[in-house]
Structure 1
Amino acid sequence: MAVPAHHARNEVSFAMLRKPFHTIRQKLMALLLIVTILPIATSMFISYKATTESVTREAISNNNRLLSLGKTNTLNYMSNINQKSLAVYNAMNVPQSLYYILEHGMEDEVFPNDLTDVIRNRNLLKDHLYNIFQSVSEFHKVRLYVVKQNTTYLLWADDLKVGRHPEPLDIETTKAYIEPAHASHNYGLDLKSSPDDEQVFTLHRPIIRAPSDELLAELSIDVRLSVLASLNAQLYDSGKEAFYIADSEGKLVLSSPIGDKGTSLGVQEESEKTPDNKEKEPAGPGTALMDTILLSGEDTGHFEWKQDGFDGIVFYDRIVTPFMDWYLIKQTPYQHLYSTANSIAKLNTVVGAAFLGIVVIATLIISIRFTKPLLRLIGYVNKIETGNLNVSIDIETNDEIGLLARWFRSMMGKINHLIMTEYRLEIASKTNELKALQAQVNPHFLYNALQSIGTVSLQNGDTKAYSLITSLGKLMRYQMNNMDDTVELRSELDYAAAYLELQKQRFDTTLEIELRIDEASRDIHVPKMILQPLLENFFKHGFQHSFEEPSRLLVSSSLLDEPRRLILTVSDNGGGMDEDRLRELQHELSMAGLQAASHRKGEDGDSGIGLRNIMARLRLQSHPESTMTLSHAQPHGLSITIQIPLEGGHET
């Protein structure tokens, strides 16, 4: 069973509505959600970014200030330690001074004095070391190595230990330096008591015989590492940030990492002993991190770092003295840096989610209530399309949808009324067609009669009458041909020539006609009956019968390039047209809606109507940009020029 066409269209339409985002309800819901979610989400994102940037700027400023403070405190403390080590050079020429004892070798027990002098000198040396030891509370051990005797004196916990080394120690430098963090040891002495596990850093100061560079001894002071931690405890948030001190070679002096020591700093932790039970050199920051700091060429600064499990900002400041080159380094993870911003973002997210939930519910309610009348109207339209034209459209809202429903009711009333008159109109149309067929009988009869009269005239030798009858027959045959809307220009010219032949016979010698036709233009297609009305316009309104000056009529055609177009001109030397009427008619011809003007008469009667009708047919049947220009001929008369673009026009 065949499905009605309108039912098939309905199925297609409803199938399209079932697709995602094809209904107004779905589009409205999507639009409302977008215009609410997008601004809220954008606002939250911008707020979060602005907060994080502000926090970052503030953190950079605060950390640079804190590291500068830590640098000052550490530098002051280390300068004090260095100053204490220089006490060896106090009172150099006094016999009981430490320098004097070292310079004269009085500390050795094989000195050629008696044992009493040895004991006295050793006690004196102990007193000097003890004074240094007591000068700073954080000193853990003080050790003096005498080069000439290859002997080490170690003061630890008020007890002086003395021992010789099997081989002389190799002291490579004559300048003071800091040994990085390490476990405290006995400096190679074979003591019964084992060394403790105290973490220390050591200041080594070579003692030189002035003014030469001869090395007399080396003074080493172990300083508890905890003092550096105490000095810099306020520079970082323990457990959340990392702080450490490393020398320029990357060796670790102090470490306070996040979590387990050294696990997330990019710092290689040292082990206290190697497999052969020898102490290893303390390790330091990872190569990549220290290289980044050293290659920056700056003594202070910061940079972003993401490596070895750390993601955040690294701040650093350099401490440079003649005896040390240290870097204070602080690592602040983004997680800690943005903790406040993240808390605000979470709060905004919760609040935003609550508001979005309300918005979604409100959007659903609004969309359903807004589109419900539309869905009802679609249902009514579907019933009407099935043939039920008396359906009652019951939508009484006061908005645009209600207005549309009322207009739809009014339209259906008009449709019902039109359907009632449709059959009468169809019957009238058939009647008119019949009358038109009957009306064609008379022109055919007249044409055949003219042919017979022309034959009789020719048989009687009246060639002039035969020529005129032939011209009139051409006119009638051309008008009777209703099959074509457009014809070749040659047909229009032949028709115009026949018309002018009859008019010339009428006005005899008082009419001069000139044709200037471009032969290439004869094959161009133009709308039918556009030249004859222009010629007729001349005889109705422009022709002046005068024995002093004959009336002249010029018809010309030409083809122009760039752009290619056909030019038709009809000009005369008649009475012409006044300037105001010329401008008015030209304005009407240039209007787009010319067909509307064709239903009224101007002051020139049928002249304006005929020109407007020609212009309308040119634009409809040839080219929408066709033009007709009216101008004054010289010395008097009227010139009408038609331009027809040939691109896209009816051309062969």
Structure 2
Amino acid sequence: MNQPKQWTIPMEAAAPFVKCKRIPQLLKGVVEPSMSGLVPFKNTIRNRLMLLLLAATILPITTSMIISYNATKSSVTEESIAMNTRLLSLGKTNIVNYMNNINQKSLAVYNAMNVPRSLYYLLEHDMEDEVFPNDLTDVIRNRNLLKDHLYNIYQSVKEFHQVRLYVAKTNATYLLRNSDMKVGQTEQPPRDAGNTGKTSIEPTHLSHLYGLTFKTSQPEEPVFTLHRPIFRAPSDELLARLSIDVKLSVLQDLNRQLYDSAERLYIVDKSGRVVLASQDAKQEEVLEWFTKVRRAGTDSGYVDQKSSDFKGMIFYDRIQTDYMDWYLVKLSPYTHLYERAGSLARINAGVSIGFLAIAVLATLYVSLRITRPLQRLIGYVNKIETGHLNVNIDIQSSDEIGLLARRFRSMMQTINNLILKEYRLEIASKTNQLKALQAQVNPHFLYNAMQSIGTVALQHKDMQVYSLLTSLGKMMRYQMSTESAVVELAKEFDYVQAYLDLQKQRFDTGLEATLRIDQRTKGVFVPKMILQPIVENFFKHGFVPSEAEPARLLLVSELLEDGSLSIRIEDNGKGMTEAQLEAAVQALAAGDLPLTQGGAVAHIDEGGIGLRNVLSRLRLHFHPSSTLELYAAQPRGLGVLIHIPLEEGAVL
């Protein structure tokens, strides 16, 4: 390590060291007296660092576990919602397709309506088997023909359990099961005989014989029934009703892949009656959650259910056709939905606890290693407090603490330089104050000098010199005035007029300047110095001396019908090419005009205010929608159009 160096404060810095109050405060902050002794154990950096590192280790890991579990749970929920929505949509499609097929088979009654041997023809002409026939041959033939028709319907779908045809006029019932057909009459018409409405689906029930009896006992089986009324076309007279009992097992087979053993699947009609249930459930329980599904107000989706019987999510999809209004419902308990999330959380917790133990041990080691050199450093700071700036800080580590030790010496040099800097700044401040006083004296001297010259000009009756001095005095007073950043437009035109008077003296008849000021615009307040930079650019870059034609400059102000202020400045100078003008317009719109455009007004002088500054001050001090446009004057030259929207009451 380098030999310690003795730092001293130079005598010339002693006075400002006493006067600058900020420097002693800085030194006091560097060498705090509270560091002179040992701090209490509970307030040591070691303890705080250990607590901080432990908190920084335990809290993130614990938070990560919680966030991970919640994120997994949320992800599983979203995935489950999407999957169950797809499954129910697929199940709905399968059911609709199958039920449409059954419905289509029932329409076979209307096939070949005008053919004498068709089923509809037999019903329409009362040719079905009668109770007391006159001709046994026709009776047998018609009965066999009717049986063939019903058998064709029965055989069209293998899941059909039986087919019944009820003839309204004769109160006769034809029931076909397997290959047997039973014909008979009942004292009372069947319960569905008076239902002359549309085709409908009767929910799940045990099959029955519709009031008839078979010689052999017929086993009962759960079925659902499609009832189709048969009308005399084109009237609404009921001829018969066709009922097709379908085995319930077909719905079980269609929806077997939609749920697993932990879930429940139901098909419920719009009134809450169960069509299909994967497991037995009380009607009251079904109505409890089905009422919540109906209140959801959508044809598909999911609702949360938390009751004593079920806690989980209920997914549903409505199956609605002309003859059927069912709900396909799936109940998934929370324990099943979040089973995978819980498994992942347990794995994550085990891994996190292992890493947490390693992190705690590493934290204790690191905190002890870091705080040991800090305690040594406290001793060196105590010596510095006593005024020994040549302390040999013997800390050899290459980490931040070692860097801190090496920076102590340079810190003292920085403090010494800061004292000298404050001293120099104080001297510079006094110098600036003196210059400010001089700047206040100079304008008064110049005004008095011009008045004296003007008096001499009047004494010699030289009105031209007096007029020029007057114009120059107006310009100086206006330009050096700092009372306000905005002025009346009339004062802006007075300033430009004084500037043009001086230019006319220079160019004589080679310059014609015209000012057309709308009297209503004189009282409008505008930012100071917005016209002179534009006019000055004409003389810098657009003025073309010519004996054949004088240079012309036109300034016009007017108040438009919409209440806005318009200021137009045109010249007959060099102008700009079409490409230059287009580039200047685009650059002005982008707020980045180049320094040289080769044209008169579009040129931005490096030392002047320029068009960009004029436009920015208009928008800053007046109205954000103010515009400044460049255009080609006719027959040649360039023009600038300033448009300023005025607020109500802006015109005096």
TM-score normalised by structure 2 residue count:
0.48
Query: Which protein, 1 or 2, shows the higher relative CO under an 8 Å CA cutoff with sep ≥ 6?
Result: 2
Q: Could you say which structure has the larger radius of gyration?
A: 1
TM-score normalised by structure 1 residue count:
0.48
